Structure 1
Amino acid sequence: MDTMQLLVNAVTVVFIAATMFAAGLGTTLPALRAVFATPLLPLLALLANLVVIPLLGWGVAALFGLSAAAFIALVLAASSPGGPLGAKLSALRDGDVVAGTAIQVLLAAVGSLTFGLTANGVLALAEVGGGISIDVAALVRTVAILQLVPFAVGLSLRHCTPLTAQSWHGAAAKVSTVTFVAVLAGMLLGNWQAVVALLGSRTLLAGAVLAAAAFATGMALATGPPARRAGMGGVAAVRNAGPALAAIGIAFDDDPAILAAFAGVLVSGMAVALPIAAVLSRRRGATPA
């Protein structure tokens, strides 16, 4: 493994841990209880993100006839819910921040346990990946530790020492954002030849289509006012890079083609999700109270 990949892997660990630590620092127990007091919303979010969107990923990959590497990357993305940037989309212009954050955390926590099984099942049914199977136990250990432990620590700090948690939250969120950009840049630069090969390919289009379909699914399978539905769409559209990157490292030995395709899927997905969220937020702002 070259120096660049080692550096990207190290920054990825920091990104995952910092993201979930920041989520814990920014979450209160009363807010979580308020969202989960009516279980229909979280149940619909789990259905959308753990079942419908992975199947959409399989369908989109098959529809566009993607290569094996791109197929795997799209399925990994579709199978990995709870991307932290999704909660930020729900905060645009008076969005339902509490619900967005709570559902994102729920999806990240549950998804860290279900991701390996879901991705394995889809790839096996699609007969893609050359029979390679993701080590679910190893993946659960890696991702659960990196995600659940930092979140629990952050949540505990918020509950026991709220002033300290609030003062740390901004710095942790900045570390999360900076390291996410660094990871994405590292994947793009470290595999630039494979990335260049993606330009004009169907992989980027497939990533964009999946993001749009996931956004629509999140909104459709949600309850509450338009602001909350739009927030659920944003949470669904942004997938969680942490488990997918761990799987690429564990099961596929950091295959450059898969890493490049996954980076392309993330970029094209964000390029679609951000404008949709912005348009919906402007419509909310233009609606008379």
Structure 2
Amino acid sequence: MNALQPLFNAITVIFIAVTMFAGGLATTLSALRAVFTDLRLLALALLANLVAVPLLGWGLAALFSLPTAGFIALILVAASPGGPFGAKLSVVQKGDVSAGTATQVLLAAVASLTFGPMSTAVLSVADVGARISLDVAALVRTVAVLQLVPFAVGLVVRHCARSTARSWHPVAALVSNVTFLMVLAGMLLGSWHDVVALLGSRTLLAGFVLAVAAFAAGTLLATGPSARRTTMGCVTAVRNVGPPLAAVGIAFDDAQAILGALAAVLISGLVAVLPIAAVLGHRRGDLT
């Protein structure tokens, strides 16, 4: 996988950028305004993602008595909301794509500032690991370049040239779908030995339970119709891998045990939430 790592990284970048661009193409300014002016929805989304899920991660790590590597990995994942897969799952479940994409971008931006303090606080109180000091400016730039800018460009195209947006959206959605599958395959191929080594361990189970609990928290702490609430659930369940990877490289010297546990937590979380989104999408498809 080391030889293919640059290719995998490039595909991941394409997936994130195209997914956000497609989200912008499918979003109207009125829909976006409705999300950002719904202060109760935004406050509940921030509460779910920045408070409830980190506390759930800490509680599950303690409940399952995870080994040090698994404990650290679960805390880092729980403290990092705004994963681009969340926007993708809003499409898979035929949910409120505008609300899901806008909220995911907002969470990624906010988490670029809160991830370091939150994860450091939990690990310090739990007396696990080292103090995490991240380049906040670099995280903000990454979020801006890969998520905010493509979404804004798609939004401008939708607003200024609606017919163009309609013709481009199916192509962007197709590229997003294909690269989504390639990223999933790359994660499995690149970390299968780490995941296999953790089979039967509590780390995989903790990652699975965290994703399900995060989906429940995001759905319950949301407003509006069912499609919007379950969309918030999927956005909450999918965490952002970038900050945890940076933290492992900076604070833990790329410790292989923590990287393996991180991959296991992320993959088990996707295994938990993907079927939920697929079932919701199937049911909503039957109703149309």
Sort the TM-score into its range (normalised by shorter chain): 0.7 to 0.9
CA 1:10–1:281: 2 relative to 1, 3 Å: closer
2:129 aligned counterpart, secondary structure = coil
Counterpart in the other structure of 1:173: 173
Structure 2 unmatched ranges of 5 or more: none
CA shift for structure 1 position 285: 8.3
Verify the 8 A CA contact 1:24 1:151 in the aligned structure 2.
yes
Counterpart in the other structure of 1:223: 223
CA distance in 2, matches of 1:39, 1:103: 12
CA shift for structure 1 position 253: 5.3
Counterpart in the other structure of 2:46: 46
CA shift for structure 1 position 100: 2.8
Verify the 8 A CA contact 2:93 2:279 in the aligned structure 1.
no
Counterpart in the other structure of 1:163: 163
1:3 aligned counterpart, secondary structure = coil
Task: Judge which range, 251-260 or 162-171, deviates more.
Answer: 251-260
Verify the 8 A CA contact 1:117 1:136 in the aligned structure 2.
no
Alignment of 1:54-133 (within 5 A): 54-91=54-91, 95-133=95-133
Counterpart in the other structure of 1:139: 139
CA 1:130–1:96: 2 relative to 1, 3 Å: closer
CA distance in 2, matches of 1:163, 1:117: 45
Task: Judge which range, 219-228 or 56-65, deviates more.
Answer: 219-228
Residue identity matched to 2:37: A
Aligned residue pairs: how many?
288
Counterpart in the other structure of 1:10: 10
Task: Judge which range, 233-242 or 133-142, deviates more.
Answer: 133-142
1:182 and 2:182 matched: yes
TM-score normalized by structure 1? 0.83
CA 1:266–1:251: 2 relative to 1, 3 Å: same
Verify the 8 A CA contact 2:134 2:246 in the aligned structure 1.
no
CA shift for structure 1 position 48: 0.6
Residue identity matched to 2:110: V
Verify the 8 A CA contact 1:96 1:228 in the aligned structure 2.
yes
Task: Judge which range, 164-173 or 37-46, deviates more.
Answer: 164-173
Alignment of 1:194-273 (within 5 A): 194-249=194-249, 251-252=251-252, 254-273=254-273
Task: Judge which range, 207-216 or 234-243, deviates more.
Answer: 234-243
Task: Judge which range, 220-229 or 55-64, deviates more.
Answer: 220-229
Q: Percent identity?
A: 69
CA shift for structure 1 position 128: 2.5
CA distance in 2, matches of 1:8, 1:238: 20
TM-score normalized by structure 2? 0.83
Task: Judge which range, 243-252 or 38-47, deviates more.
Answer: 243-252
CA distance in 2, matches of 1:100, 1:69: 31
Residue identity matched to 1:63: L
CA distance in 1, matches of 2:194, 2:95: 38
Verify the 8 A CA contact 1:135 1:251 in the aligned structure 2.
no
Q: What is the aligned-residue RMSD (CA, Å)? A: 3.1
CA distance in 1, matches of 2:262, 2:248: 9
CA 1:39–1:121: 2 relative to 1, 3 Å: same
Residue identity matched to 1:3: A
Structure 1 unmatched ranges of 5 or more: none
CA distance in 1, matches of 2:177, 2:285: 26
Verify the 8 A CA contact 1:113 1:144 in the aligned structure 2.
no
